Amino acid sequence: MCVETHDIFNDPLSMWIEWESGEEPKMHWQVQIIYAVQSAFYIHSIYATLFMDLWRKDSWLMFVHHFVALALLFLSYVNNFTLPGVLVLFLHDNSDATLEITKLSFYLKKRTNGQYYKHYFLVGNAAFILFAIIWVIFRLYWYTCKLLYATIYGAVYLGPQDAPFFPVLGAMLIIIFGMNVYWFNFIARMIWRVALTGEDPEDNREWDTTAVSGLNQQKLDELATVKCHLKPKNV
């Protein structure tokens, strides 16, 4: 991730160059656009988790994640710690993209008329494998050896010590890493089940859950099936 002369991905400690010399770094316009778009996304995600999405085992954790992410964006912007903030976004967004490709592919592979599209099945499996690999590399490995190294360890020596939200931001980054580890548990279980049974990857967070409407997933599937077989009345 490069911003003008800063290569904060390959050299994470470079995010503190200006702070180390006693100067506050300038706010890059590219970063301001990224912050605006991401803030809008997380505001919508908080609303969607509470009122639109199917309620799952980890829905409250998802809500906390979106709230912490939005707070990180706001507090890092106030303190002008936007370079670490951009690195956080870079390490997370790529896995989100591959996850959505996986979901769309499996939604499209079989239609209500019974037609089956194998190429969507193949794309979905490939995207899921890529998603799992990216999660491990970006959210677990690089998150610790690049982001946490630069912000928890490096910032103690190079960053501003009088920033009002400095300790809070560090705690939030550790909380997000804990969430990444927790969610990887679902990914690992899904990979193990698919490897043993040959079943399609399915969201195992939806087991024993209830939708916002009060109906469980099985009942919702039954209602959807009935609705698909209903024919419109002749006028």
4 domain residue, yes or no:
no
Tokens of 93: 């967004």
135 domain residue, yes or no:
yes
pLDDT in tens, the chain (235 residues): 545 566 788 888 888 887 777 677 778 888 899 999 999 999 998 888 888 877 777 778 888 899 999 999 999 998 888 888 999 999 998 888 888 888 888 778 776 666 777 778 888 888 888 999 999 999 999 999 999 999 888 887 777 777 777 888 889 999 999 999 998 988 888 888 777 776 666 555 554 344 444 444 555 566 656 655 554 444 4
Of residues 150, 22, 14, the one with CA closest to residue 91? 150
Cα–Cα separations (whole angstroms), residue 181 to 131, 146, 201, 214: 15, 16, 19, 30
Cα–Cα separations (whole angstroms), residue 146 to 16, 32, 84, 102, 141: 13, 22, 10, 27, 8
Q: Which residue range(s) make up the domain with 43?
A: 13-229
59 domain residue, yes or no:
yes
- The continuous run of DSSP H or E covering 86 comes out as helix 82-108
Give the total number of structural domains in the chain.
1
234 domain residue, yes or no:
no
45 domain residue, yes or no:
yes
Contact between 59 and 91 (Cβ < 8 Å): no
67 domain residue, yes or no:
yes
207 domain residue, yes or no:
yes
Distance of CA 54 to the CA centre of its chain: 17
Environment class of residue 118 by beta-carbon count within 10 Å: exposed (0-12), middle (13-18) or buried (19+)?
A: exposed
DSSP, res 110? B
1 domain residue, yes or no:
no
Place of tokens 């709230």: 67
